[in-house]
Amino acid sequence: MNALLLRLLLPALVPVLGWLAPEPLAEPAPETAAWVSLTGDAEGGLVEEGETVTFTASVRNSSRAPLVATLEWELITLAFDSPALEPLRIEVPGRETRTFELAVPMEGPGFVQAEVSVLTEGARSAKRRRRRVGCAPDEVLFPLTATDDFDAFWERTLEELAAVDPQVELRAVERSPAPRSRLYELTLRSLGDVRVRGWLQVPLAKGPHPAILRVPGYTQTMRPLDDADDAIILSFNIRAHGNSTDDVPGRPIDYWLRGLDDPDAYFYRGAYADCVRAVQYLCSRDDVDQERLAVWGASQGGGLAFATAALDPRIDLCIADIPWLCHWEGLMELVSAEDRSDVERWLEGRPGRTVEGALRTLSYFDTMNLAGRIQCRTLMGVGLQDPICPPATSFAAFNRVEGEREFRIDEDRGHGLGGDHTAWVMEQMLAEFAR
């Protein structure tokens, strides 16, 4: 699988969720001389229970005149009730830097994000910086939100999927120069008789081969790899993504709000079923090694990977990076009011809609509630500073997995993990497939 390792080092596994965006770390606006940075003294971004983290805000005055400003701290966390912190009036002499500290005891498992804002007199907006640290991430747990009919809901969904004839279509795609694998465009029928597609790459050598199901991030179009001669690769597009838009449109980009009034009509009921259908197809092939089947995705794809491994026990390795679709109640608490604007518009779109109603629908698709079904080995990578999929929500699902699990945290990365993480994943996959 070494050739596969090299080819998978640079896949586009980092989608951007349209309803949230990280705040840019921009230079100060011209009207102010303040520059702000924020650090935490947790080594590697993590501390032990009972330790105290000290956040340090550095405010630099790049002008000759004294700088007068208001400095405010805010703590954002699910680990404890955040205290109200009083604003502080600060003065920084010309061409100098002053530091201001905030000590935060970490009494139990969880993550805490400190935000510092500095509003200079006469400035139109404050300069903000954020920094997150964690404590005992493998012990982070939140109460499940599954309803009494949760299991029955998914049993019924899988029965409905089984009643749909997949009507498999394979269209050979010619490539040059001569490749080391055959490429096909695969078309399947999924829940609701919806057509979904993906790109299937089959090595020329005789199997059976390990198989990898690659699932997309939010709005991501999955495309075939350059070549794949040592594993069967299915780069799969769920409904409304990539080449799977015949029956479910890709626009507008509001997938997570579609059908939110009713669990049976909700977008991710079909999307999760699409992934299960893809697994069913792979397992129907004689050239697939049934003991070496992996699912891999990032962001939305990480959530899809969790859901796929939960709903189809034939998955042998689940790789869920920076996963979304986890712990919806916690996510709603962690995002800002501005980031919840899509929800507000949805609530205003029809009388009688409530946040409680939305969360009830979402509970059926919350991978935190599904993860207890996962028996296979599971890998997860997170960026500690991720503003889109906060680590607390990712670990809410990951720590419910019943199978062997392993995680990596990158202290400085946000919603993206880079090639070094991909290389680590491939090393783990090679080891798993060699068992």
Among this protein's residues, is 386 annotated catalytic?
Answer: yes
pLDDT at 7 over 60: no
pLDDT, mean over the chain: 91
* Catalytic site residue from 386, 394, 410, 421: 386
Give 349's contacts (C-beta < 8 A, 6+ positions apart).
Answer: none
Mean pLDDT lowest for which of 126-135, 297-306, 412-421? 412-421
User: What residues contact 420, with CB distance under 8 A and at least 6 apart?
Assistant: none
Question: In angstroms, rounded to a whole number, what is the distance separating the alpha carbons of residues 148 and 136?
Answer: 31
> Sheet holding 34-40: strands in order across?
34-40, 52-61, 97-105
Domains of the chain as residue ranges with CATH: 2-20+142-433 (3.40.50.1820), 34-136 (2.60.40.10)
Q: At residue 431, does pLDDT exceed 90?
A: no
- Strands, sheet with 288-298, edge to edge from the N-terminal-most edge strand: 169-173, 181-190, 194-203, 232-237, 209-214, 288-298, 317-321, 377-383, 405-410
Residue whose entry in the numeric block shows the structure tokens 């500690």 = 384
CA distance 203 to 354: 51
What pLDDT, on a 0 to 100 scale, did the predictor assign at position 319?
A: 98
Burial group, residue 270, by CB count within 10 angstroms (0-12, 13-18, 19+):
buried
State mean pLDDT over 139-162: 98
1 DSSP 8-state letter: -
82 is catalytic: no
Closest CA to 145 of 400, 401, 359: 359
For 58, how many CA atoms within 13 A lie in the half-sphere containing its CB? 8
Q: What is the pLDDT of residues 169-212, one digit of tens each?
A: 999 999 877 688 999 999 999 999 999 999 999 999 998 999 99
| pLDDT single digits (tens) 85-111 | 999 999 999 999 999 999 999 999 999
Distance of alpha carbon 198 from alpha carbon 220, whole angstroms:
13
Of the pLDDT bands very low, low, confident and very high (cuts 50, 70, 90), residue 373 is very high
Please, are residues 381 and 321 in contact by the beta-carbon 8 Å criterion? yes
Both tokens of residue 137? 């991430």
Which one is predicted more confidently, 379 or 427? 379
Q: Which of 299, 327, 366, 410 is catalytic?
A: 299
Sheet with 46-47: strands ordered across: 46-47, 127-135, 110-120, 67-77, 88-92
Q: Which of 209, 241, 327, 415 is catalytic?
A: 415
177-207: b (≥16 Cβ within 10 Å) or e: eebebbbbebbbbbbeebbbbbbbbbbeeee
